[in-house]
C-alpha cells in the first residue's frame, strides 16, 4: 500500500520536474483561454490576525492561500468562466483566526484581497492545486503584480458588535472577460461586494458557519454603464 503511494508520488514528482524542466511557464499571451464553464480557483492574501497585515513567504513574496473550503463542494471557492449563476459557499466553521480577519475586512482595516488566474494555469503551477505563492508567477514589489492573475477584491460589508459580527453574506461577483476577438477566454477584471448588507446579513460568532452566496455574472469588454 505504502509502496504504491510512494511509487505514484515519485511518478508525479518526476513528471513535475520534467514539466518544469522542459516547459517553462508560458506567457499569458501564449496560454490557452478558459472554456465556457471552466472552473476558476480563487486564492487570497494570507494576513496576520493581530494586525491584518499581509504575510510574505520565505522568498519575500506575498503569500496567497486558497479561499476557505466551501461545504457545498468540499473545495475552496471556484467561479465558472462565462456562466451566470449563484454560487453558494458555506464556510463550515468560523475559526478564531478567521473571525478576527473578518473584523478587519468589515472594518475596512484590510481588504479581502483575492486573485484569480486570468487564463487557466499550467499544471506545473497548479501541482498543489492552488499553490500560487510561487516566484515564477510574481512580479513587482512583493509580487503584487503578476501578469498571470487578475485581482479580485471582495468588499465584505457588515457591522461589528462587541461579541459578534453581522456579515453581508449576499454578494455580487462580476468577472470581465477580454473581447473574444482579442483574447478569447481571458479574465480582464473582477470584483465582488456585499449587496443590501443592512437587510441581507448573517450573525456570526466564533464557531458558527458562514454561508456566503455569490451572484456571479460577467461582462465582455470594457466599461459598463448602468444608468
Which CB atom, from 90 or from 183, has the smaller least distance to ligand NAG?
Answer: 90
Number of Cβ within 10 Å of residue 68's Cβ equals 20
Which CB atom, from 61 or from 71, has the smaller least distance to ligand NAG?
Answer: 71
Which CB atom, from 89 or from 190, has the smaller least distance to ligand NAG?
Answer: 89
Shortest Å distance, C-beta 165 to ligand NAG: 17
Q: Can you list the alpha helix ranges (DSSP code H) found in the chain?
A: 2-22, 96-106, 123-126
For binding to ligand NAG (CB under 6 A), which residues are involved?
A: 46, 55, 65, 71, 86, 88, 90, 92, 209, 213
Question: What is the spatial distance between Cα 114 and Cα 46, in angstroms, rounded to a whole number?
Answer: 9
Shortest Å distance, C-beta 148 to ligand NAG: 20
Please check whether residue 38 is in contact with residue 81, taking contact to mean a CB–CB distance below 8 angstroms: yes
Shortest Å distance, C-beta 179 to ligand NAG: 29
Shortest Å distance, C-beta 46 to ligand NAG: 4
Which CB atom, from 88 or from 183, has the smaller least distance to ligand NAG?
Answer: 88
Which CB atom, from 46 or from 172, has the smaller least distance to ligand NAG?
Answer: 46
Question: What is the spatial distance between Cα 30 and Cα 23, in angstroms, rounded to a whole number?
Answer: 12
Please check whether residue 196 is in contact with residue 171, taking contact to mean a CB–CB distance below 8 angstroms: no
Shortest Å distance, C-beta 92 to ligand NAG: 5
Question: Which has the closest alpha carbon to 172: 219, 116, 216?
Answer: 216
Instruction: Tell me which residue has its CB nearest to ligand NAG.
Output: 209
Question: What is the spatial distance between Cα 186 and Cα 31, in angstroms, rounded to a whole number?
Answer: 10
Give the containing element (helix H, strand E) for 34: none
Amino acid at each position: 500500500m505504502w509502496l504504491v503511494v510512494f511509487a505514484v508520488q515519485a511518478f508525479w514528482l518526476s513528471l513535475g520536474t520534467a514539466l518544469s524542466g522542459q516547459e517553462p511557464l508560458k506567457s499569458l499571451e501564449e496560454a490557452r483561454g478558459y472554456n465556457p464553464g471552466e472552473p476558476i480557483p480563487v486564492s487570497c492574501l494570507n494576513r496576520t490576525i493581530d494586525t491584518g497585515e499581509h504575510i510574505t513567504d520565505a522568498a519575500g513574496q506575498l503569500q496567497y492561500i486558497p479561499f476557505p473550503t466551501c461545504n457545498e463542494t468540499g473545495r475552496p471557492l471556484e467561479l465558472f468562466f462565462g456562466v451566470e449563476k449563484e454560487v453558494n459557499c458555506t464556510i463550515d466553521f468560523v475559526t478564531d483566526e478567521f473571525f478576527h480577519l473578518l473584523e478587519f475586512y468589515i472594518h475596512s482595516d484590510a481588504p479581502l484581497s483575492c486573485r484569480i488566474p486570468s487564463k487557466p494555469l499550467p499544471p506545473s503551477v497548479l501541482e498543489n492545486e492552488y499553490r500560487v505563492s510561487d516566484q515564477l508567477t510574481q512580479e513587482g514589489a512583493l509580487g503584487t503584480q503578476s501578469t498571470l492573475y487578475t485581482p479580485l477584491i471582495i468588499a465584505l460589508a457588515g457591522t461589528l458588535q462587541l461579541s459578534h459580527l453581522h456579515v453581508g453574506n449576499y454578494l455580487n461577483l462580476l468577472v470581465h472577460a477580454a473581447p473574444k476577438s482579442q483574447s478569447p477566454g481571458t479574465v480582464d477584471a473582477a470584483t465582488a461586494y456585499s449587496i443590501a448588507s443592512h437587510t441581507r446579513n448573517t450573525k456570526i460568532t466564533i464557531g458558527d458557519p458562514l454561508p456566503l452566496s455569490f451572484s456571479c455574472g460577467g461582462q465582455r469588454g470594457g466599461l459598463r454603464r448602468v444608468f
